[in-house]
Amino acid sequence: MTAHGALGQSLDLSGVTYRYGRGGAGVGPLNLHVEPGEFLCIVGPSGSGKSTLLSLLSGFLRPQTGEIRLGGEVVRGPHPALTLVQQEAALFPWLTVGGNVAFGLKGLNAGEKAARVTDALRLVGLGGYESRRPHELSGGQRQRVSIARALAVRPGLLLLDEPFSALDHATRTALADELLGIWWQQKVTVVFVTHQLDEALHLGQRVVALRGGEVALDAPSKGLSVGELKRVLAG
């Protein structure tokens, strides 16, 4: 299921486990392959292991068994090619929008940084907002800035943890469609965690449902229904 000659990187999990305490809750063993440029949604009830999985994917937690590979390279810790967008836009209030987007850019000169910032803000529909401050923006705009910040580093894998959950329905729908446009244009690999089953089916090419830290379903979203997902998640 390769998407449109993607530039994003492949993601592979083989035998990955992480348990909090001996025999405690957590995830695994997980085996998962994500194609370069694929859009994967992860759903699951509260406590099913979604956040633990994202922490493992973003390198904040190390697997206790197995390994995670991004573009064939073992992930050994937080990495600039793995960017995480969280529920609430965590912007630095004392920096401008441009400063926030430029924050993670390393090893570039000032001109290259400015070009990356301009491009990323244009992608999220905030061209010209460079000198604004976060408090001057709406919740949806702030979340757009955090997506721009993630995109500015040209990630091989974009991880999103319920990025639209704090937004009203109309803004949420608009941002979801914008994200699809960006994904299509940038050909980045996306792993998107959501509680909303309809959102997962709308956005993802493929849906993975977690239950009790294990994969209960891994299927193309085409042909899946919210009812079927609910049945799987209920066990």
Ligand X SMILES: Nc1ncnc2c1ncn2[C@@H]1O[C@H](COP(=O)(O)OP(=O)(O)OP(=O)(O)O)[C@@H](O)[C@H]1O
- Output 175-181 pairs: Cβ under 8 A, ≥24 positions apart: 175/140, 175/143, 175/144, 176/202, 176/203, 178/124, 178/125, 178/144, 179/147, 179/203, 180/39
Stretch that binds ligand X, among 8-16, 39-47, 112-120, 224-232 (CB under 6 A): 39-47
Q: Which is nearer to ligand X, 4 or 62 (CB)?
A: 62
Tell me: does residue 163 bind ligand X (CB under 6 A).
Answer: no
Tell me: does residue 109 bind ligand X (CB under 6 A).
Answer: no
Report the nearest approach of ligand X to the CB of residue 173 (Å). 21
Q: Which is nearer to ligand X, 87 or 173 (CB)?
A: 87
> In this structure, what token pair is assigned to residue 61?
């937690």
Tell me: does residue 60 bind ligand X (CB under 6 A).
Answer: no
Report the nearest approach of ligand X to the CB of residue 120 (Å). 28
Identified binder of ligand X from the candidate list 51, 86, 173, 196, rule CB under 6 A: 51
Cα 77 to the center of its chain, rounded Å: 17
Stretch that binds ligand X, among 42-50, 110-118, 137-145, 183-191 (CB under 6 A): 42-50
Give the total of residues touching ligand X (CB under 6 A): 11
Q: Which is nearer to ligand X, 50 or 142 (CB)?
A: 50
CA dist 10 and 69 (Å) reads 8
Which segments within the chain are labelled E, that is strand?
A: 11-19, 26-34, 39-43, 65-70, 73-74, 82-85, 157-161, 189-193, 206-211, 214-220
Identified binder of ligand X from the candidate list 6, 9, 16, 26, rule CB under 6 A: 26
Identified binder of ligand X from the candidate list 4, 20, 128, 226, rule CB under 6 A: 20
> In this structure, what token pair is assigned to residue 218?
């891994």
CA dist 11 and 7 (Å) reads 13
Angle at the Cα of 28 (from 187 to 162), degrees rounded to 5? 45
Identified binder of ligand X from the candidate list 5, 22, 46, 222, rule CB under 6 A: 46
Tell me: does residue 58 bind ligand X (CB under 6 A).
Answer: no
Binding site for ligand X (CB under 6 A): 20, 25-26, 44, 46-52
